[in-house]
Amino acid sequence: MKFYVVHTYTGREKRVKELLEKAIEPLHEARSALDMWSGLAARVGLGEQFRYTSRDYMRMLLDSGHPSVDGITFERLEAEKIVRYKEMDFVVDVEEWSGGKGVDVVLDTIGGEVFKRSMNVTRIGGKIVTLLANPLSAEDAQLARMRNLSICYEMMLTPQVMKQHEERIRQRKILEQGAKLIAEGKLGVLVSYALPLEEAAEAHRLIEKGGVLGKIILTM
C-alpha cells in the first residue's frame, strides 16, 4: 500500500509527502499505518504532529494537487465504496456495506480467487463480467447456479477476430460516446505517471511492483 502522509509543523503547516511501504502484508488483523504512527508519535512526545484524523489527512491529500488523485473528491469517496482487496476481506466488507444484499454487477479484472470469491458479494440474480479466461470448477458453477448469477466473459477483440462487422460498429459508437463525455469533462482517466517513451522499462517496473493508482502513460 502506498499513501501520502501530511505532517504539520509547529507554527505553520507545511505539506511533506513521504512515501511509505509496509515491510510485509499483515498476516491477520492489524492497526492502520496512521494509528501506528500516531501512537508512536504520542509516546515520544510528538503527538501534536499527528493531531488530525484519517478523514482530515484524506481531505489534505485530495487537495494536494498530486496527479494520482486528480478528479477525485472527498464527496465522491463518501458516496462510493472503495475496498483494498489485498489488505482486507473484501467479501466481508462488501456484505457489511450492502447490508448483506451484495452488489448488482461485478467487473472482474483480477481473476483467480478474487473472481471466484466475487460470487459471494454479487446479489442473487446479479451479474459478474470478467475480462479474463477464468475457469469454473463444478463447485463454482453450482454456487453460481444457486445464486442465479449471470457470468459473462468479455473480450473486446472478439468482433474483430470473429469478423462481426455490426458488433464492431456498436463498439465504435460506444468509444465515440466515451470521447464525447471526455470532451465535455464528464469522464476522465486517472493518470498516476506520465513517462517519456524512453522510460518504458520503468513503466513496466511500476506495474509489476503494484500499488499504482490509475494509468501509466508514455509520452512521445
The 10s digit of each residue's pLDDT in 141-184 is: 999 999 999 999 988 888 888 999 999 999 999 999 989 988 88
Last residue of a domain, one of 46, 64, 82: 64
- Residue 37: DSSP 8-state: H
Number of Cβ within a 10 Å radius of residue 127: 15
Do 31 and 53 lie in one domain? The reply is yes
pLDDT, residue 29, reads 53
Last residue of a domain, one of 130, 153, 176: 153
What cell does 24 get? 510485509
**Sequence-separated (6 or more) residues with CB below 8 Å from residue 16:** 5, 6, 7
Does 168 reside within a domain?
Answer: yes
Taking 80 as the threshold, does the pLDDT of residue 8 lie above it?
no
Percentage above 70 pLDDT, the chain: 80
- Looking at the chain, the number of H-run helices and the number of E-run strands are 9, 9
pLDDT band for 27, please (50, 70, 90 cuts): low
Q: How many domains does the chain contain in total? A: 3
Last residue of a domain, one of 124, 153, 182: 153
Mean pLDDT of 44-59: 77
The overall longest dimension of the chain from CA atoms, in Å, is: 69
Instruction: Please give the full DSSP string across 130-156, using - where no structure is assigned.
Output: ESS-----HHHHHHHHHTT-EEEE--T
Do 148 and 94 lie in one domain? The reply is yes
Does 81 reside within a domain?
Answer: no
Radius of gyration for the alpha carbons in the chain, expressed in angstroms and rounded: 21
Q: Where does the chain have alpha helices with state H?
A: 33-43, 54-62, 74-79, 90-97, 112-117, 138-146, 158-161, 165-183, 200-209
Domain around 142: 90-153
Does 146 reside within a domain?
Answer: yes
Does 123 reside within a domain?
Answer: yes
pLDDT band for 23, please (50, 70, 90 cuts): low
Q: Is the pTM of this model over 0.85?
A: no
Do 103 and 132 lie in one domain? The reply is yes
